Amino acid sequence: MTIRYPNGNQFYEQPASSNDHNDTINFSNRGMTLEDEINKSNSYYLRNEIAVIHKKPTPIQIVSVDYPKRSAARIKEAYFRKASTTDYNGVYHGYYIDFDAKETKNKTSFPLKNFHKHQVEHMRQCLKQQGICFAIIKFVNDQSVFVLRASTLITYWDRQATGGRKSIPRSVIEKRGFPIHYRINPLLPYLSAVDLMID
Amino acid sequence: MTIRYPNGNQFYEQPASSNDHNDTINFSNRGMTLEDEINKSNSYYLRNEIAVIHKKPTPIQIVSVDYPKRSAARIKEAYFRKASTTDYNGVYHGYYIDFDAKETKNKTSFPLKNFHKHQVEHMRQCLKQQGICFAIIKFVNDQSVFVLRASTLITYWDRQATGGRKSIPRSVIEKRGFPIHYRINPLLPYLSAVDLMID
């Protein structure tokens, strides 16, 4: 069955770590969500000892649980909660990595409403601790993907409050972000953008 | 109602960030789990911009969800999953911090069965990426708490496979670990041990 988040996005389990030889680029990738693509890339980075980056579990508010004899505890009632942090974090060459991944059907800009206030606050806090923070943004229209520094995102986020626009123009993302081109392995080599950010 | 994990431990929600003035040491702390104590300490570190460290949400396998009209999506059937990583991670002064917290009723040793294989593997992976990895171990008997380097834990873990003991003697934890003494704020100042590990 298809499970959906309250925002309508489809819920996917973390994929089991897949076999390298199956990680080929083909049109079937076009059916993958950005989350799938990043999980797949993280599996590659993990298997090859390049980085340890995981998606955090979806936060759930548990209301009621059954404890049947001789079988696993069963959650009978629970609700999705809003995440208070970004979805992904981990470690790469001693650097703390922290990011969120968002896709948009918009063609010319990225709407800031894709982020929650708590997520942006979390990025601000991580930056103060010298973490490497960013967003991975995908324009599904033409399958282009960019890494955008958290500092750029925060600048636009804060400007909203004083009458600024509610989105980041694609032209800004192209100019200030780092384009990520699909490859075979990893599917989305976003750590190459991190290397540039560290330099 | 009281909600329990499959292992019988009580399930607690992440506490709302509490007021500094209420963080006093008193006998009521004796009713807190180690998880409560660490969450409280992390809230203090976060509020005071010392570190950004969060507990990861409990991983859940969702089986069935209801989407009632005009109200929140309701999870009708789900199960607890084993975590594939440690429970806590974050960033402190540019360092990647990663740890798990375990308490034991044993008095003279810490049983290794408190850890899952995946958690130990995760620590191994993080160490290779130059993360700061450790376990916070509490002997509930006399309320003593220690930070133990992941490398020490891994040494004992690996020895099990070749006939070694299934626990770490308390004497070893006292000698090679860092004792953490309860304070007012933060309740468990475990980052002071991290400072020593970084030195």
**A69 in contact with B at a CB cutoff of 8 Å?**
no
Name the maximum alpha-carbon separation found in chain A: 60
Nearest by CB: A131 against B5, B46, B91: B91
Indicate if the pLDDT at residue A20 is higher than 50: no
The answer to whether domain B27-198 has CATH 1.10.10.2840 is no
What is the C-alpha to C-alpha distance for residues A84 and B83, in angstroms, rounded to an integer? Answer: 19
The pLDDT confidence band at residue A182, using thresholds 50, 70 and 90, is: very high
In this structure, the dihedral spanned by the alpha carbons of residues B151, B154, B155 and B156, taken in order and rounded to 10 degrees, is 130
**CB-CB under 8 Å, B122 with A93:** no
**Considering only A15-19, A54-58, B2-6, B154-158, which range has the smallest mean pLDDT?**
A15-19
What is the C-alpha to C-alpha distance for residues B171 and B164, in angstroms, rounded to an integer? Answer: 16
The predicted structure's pLDDT at residue B10: 60
What is the C-alpha to C-alpha distance for residues A71 and A65, in angstroms, rounded to an integer? Answer: 13
The predicted structure's pLDDT at residue A26: 46
The pLDDT confidence band at residue A4, using thresholds 50, 70 and 90, is: low
Q: Pick the residue with more confidence: A2 or B153?
A: B153
What is the C-alpha to C-alpha distance for residues A116 and B168, in angstroms, rounded to an integer? Answer: 44
- Give the closest-approach CA distance of B64 to chain A in angstroms: 7
What is the pLDDT of chain A when averaged over all its residues?
89
% of chain A with per-residue pLDDT over 90: 79
Residue A44 to residues A12, A19, A47, A51, A187, Cα–Cα distance (Å): 18, 9, 5, 9, 9
Indicate if the pLDDT at residue B151 is higher than 60: yes
Indicate if the pLDDT at residue B97 is higher than 50: yes
With CA atoms as reference, the chain A residue closest to B4 would be: A65
B94 interaction partners in chain A (CB closer than 8 Å): 95-96, 129-131
Q: Pick the residue with more confidence: A6 or A77?
A: A77
B3 interaction partners in chain A (CB closer than 8 Å): 62, 64-65
Q: Phi first, then psi: what are they for A37, rounded to 5°?
A: -65, -40
Indicate if the pLDDT at residue A103 is higher than 80: yes
Nearest by CB: A89 against B77, B89, B125: B89
**CB-CB under 8 Å, B125 with A46:** yes
Q: Pick the residue with more confidence: B16 or A54?
A: A54
B87 interaction partners in chain A (CB closer than 8 Å): none
**B93 in contact with A at a CB cutoff of 8 Å?**
yes
What does the pLDDT average to over B122-148? 97
- Give the closest-approach CA distance of B57 to chain A in angstroms: 5
ipTM value:
0.84
pLDDT in tens, A137-179: 999 999 999 999 999 999 999 999 899 999 999 999 999 999 9
Domain positions in chain B? 27-198
What is the C-alpha to C-alpha distance for residues B129 and B97, in angstroms, rounded to an integer? Answer: 11
- Give the closest-approach CA distance of A54 to chain B in angstroms: 8
Under CATH, what is the fold of the domain A20-57+83-198?
A: Trna Endonuclease; Chain: A, domain 1 (3.40.1350)
Binding residues of A for Mg(2+): 85, 87, 100, 119
**Considering only A195-199, B128-132, B186-190, which range has the smallest mean pLDDT?**
A195-199
**A134 in contact with B at a CB cutoff of 8 Å?**
no
Yes or no: say if B75 and A154 are a contact pair by the CB < 8 Å rule. Answer: no
The pLDDT confidence band at residue B84, using thresholds 50, 70 and 90, is: confident
**A12 in contact with B at a CB cutoff of 8 Å?**
no
